[in-house]
C-alpha cells in the first residue's frame, strides 16, 4: 500500500564515491521519503474518517451489522498502526534535525543505507536489532 508507492517514487540512494555517511544529500533523500510516507498515511487516515462517517448505516439484519462492525474494527486497527508509524516518522525526522539519524541508538554505529531504505524509521543497527529480538524471544518463553 503506502510502502509500495514509496519505493516506486524514491529509487534507492546511490552514494557518490567518497561521500560521507549521512551527508546532506542522504539526509534530504531520507527526509523526502519520511515526509512522503507521512503525508500518504495522513491522507489514508483522513479518507477512513470520511468513509466511516459516510457509511454510518444501521442494518436491520444482525449478520450485516456484525459484518459492518467487523470491517470497522479492522479498519480502526489498521489506522491505529498507521498512527503509531506516523509517530515513529516524526521521531525519525526529529533525529534528522538533531543530526542523529542513521546511527544506532544502542551502540552508535552506522545503521546503513540499505537498512534505512528498507525501514526509514529504524533506530537500531542490524546487530543490535537481532540481539533485541533474541532477548524478546527468550522472555516470551
**Assigned C-alpha cell, 28:** 534530504
Annotated binding site for Zn(2+): 104, 107, 125, 128
Contact 128, 104 (CB under 8 A): yes
Annotated binding site: 104, 107, 125, 128
Instruction: Give the span between the Cα atoms of 83 and 88, in whole angstroms.
Output: 9
Contact 106, 128 (CB under 8 A): yes
* SS3 category, 116: helix
Amino acid at each position: 500500500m503506502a510502502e509500495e508507492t514509496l519505493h516506486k517514487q524514491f529509487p534507492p540512494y546511490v552514494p557518490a564515491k567518497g561521500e560521507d555517511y549521512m551527508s546532506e544529500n542522504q539526509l534530504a533523500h531520507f527526509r523526502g521519503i519520511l515526509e512522503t510516507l507521512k503525508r500518504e498515511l495522513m491522507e489514508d487516515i483522513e479518507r477512513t474518517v470520511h468513509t466511516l462517517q459516510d457509511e454510518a448505516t444501521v442494518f436491520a439484519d444482525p449478520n450485516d451489522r456484525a459484518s459492518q462492525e467487523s470491517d470497522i474494527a479492522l479498519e480502526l486497527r489498521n489506522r491505529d498502526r498507521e498512527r503509531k508509524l506516523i509517530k515513529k516518522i516524526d521521531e525519525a525526522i526529529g533525529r534528522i534535525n538533531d543530526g542523529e539519524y542513521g546511527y544506532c541508538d544502542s551502540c552508535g554505529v552506522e545503521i546503513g543505507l540499505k537498512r534505512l531504505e528498507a525501514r526509514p524509521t529504524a533506530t537500531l543497527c542490524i546487530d543490535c536489532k537481532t540481539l533485541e529480538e533474541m532477548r524478546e524471544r527468550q522472555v516470551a518463553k
